[in-house]
Structure 1
Amino acid sequence: MGKLDGRVVIVTGAARGQGEQEARLFAAEGARVVVADVLDDQAEALAKELGALHVRLDVSKEADWDAAVAATKEAYGRIDGLVNNAGILRFNSLVDTPLEEFMQVVQVNQVGCFLGIKAVAGEIAAAGGGTIVNTASYTAMTGMAAVGTYAATKHAILGLTRVAAMELAQQGIRVNAMCPGAIDTAMSNPALLDPDADAEEMSKAIGDLYRKLVPLGRIGRPEEVAKLALFLTSDDSSYITGQPFVIDGGWLAGVSIL
């Protein structure tokens, strides 16, 4: 038996990176997964491979959430869980960040998380309870130069998580947040998405950087984050709600001078 047998779980941003690995692991553990993303070709291919449902979902649009919930219920009859994984990152100093860029990140990361909670809470309650896992960040727990907009939205996600956990507990819904550090995805290494870039060389440079910064001496793997998402979605975490879970190789623990 799988840890998620019979459960219906929506994973946003599931076409690649952490979301893809979460979708794969959840399906392997018996869940009926909804692969939600705006990257139609990649999401559709993954859904076909997993025998899952693909829905096109721009998390910043309430109408898209309504459509995704309706499609999920039509296909599976219920919703038991959500992983709010979709997110974007922009590098800029705060004073050089245009308002348009700031609002773009807020709309996807912060508003997208809010709309997800709002869209599925009633359905999860109607199914007898379940889970919501929000993807925050290492930067939700501390500051980091050049990613101020991203850090602001991830701090906000922790606030949303705590309030939702308090308000939804009586409906049998547990809400927690993951706070990944540097994870080996296209978000950490944009060169992976640029056909003209030397992705291998960039990966080496990033690997060298995190060997110095992270106590465990390496960048994290999306599969490792997926395992945390599984823990927070399964009954293994049945008495846990409203909490941030840092998964960063020890990065937040402090700065090494050695």
Structure 2
Amino acid sequence: MIKKAIELKNVRKVYRVGEEKVIALNDISFSVDYGEVCCLLGTSGSGKSTLLNMMAGLEKPTRGQVIVNGRHVEKMDENRLVQFRQKNIGFVFQSYNLLPTLTAIENVSLPLTFRGVNKKIRERLAVEMLEAVGLKTHIKHKPTQMSGGQQQRVGIARAFVTKAPIIFADEPTGNLDSKTTDEVLKLMLRLVKENNQALVLVTHDKGISKFAHKVYYMLDGNIEKVEVNSSKMGG
């Protein structure tokens, strides 16, 4: 049985900019368990987004191993990566990334469409997810008819609808006020716990880190320190 949701071993990423080498990640090793919320905290340019891209298979490491749900993503070609992401990863974005011409139910059911799920089943699952995130009355609404918080709830429903074992959230509350931020994060945490998923939060906002089991402070491509939230580790 696979115990670790994510495991990085000595991951290094170097970019060439003209004659110069820029080290984006410098020998990073860490892991995330199922049922765990991990926060990558750092300013712009700290390496946190590059690290997220590594885990999602969007970028290849210069060296090192990236093991996600038991599979070496650094060894996969693009076709296999696309299939892998569809089955194993859900994404929540800062800018919501909803399709403006689609209703909430259509946006949420989109990942299931890519999986070839029957229309009746995917609509039922999408409605269930929208109800779970408190948008039962908004299933036919398009993004322009919803607030930022409501749009992000649709984004969360879309990320969780496939029950993917791993969820990546890149600055998921960057466009939200503090009250909505708390609501959205508590919602994600509840869903992660219910489904025993791994959640990786990427943020520059220290206030968000209180929701995580472990906080990795990033600076200049390094993990500077790790903070364990003991009150969260118990559940």
Q: TM-score, normalised by structure 2?
A: 0.32
Higher helix share: 1
Q: Which has the higher strand share?
A: 2
Higher relative contact order (CA 8 A, sep 6+): 2
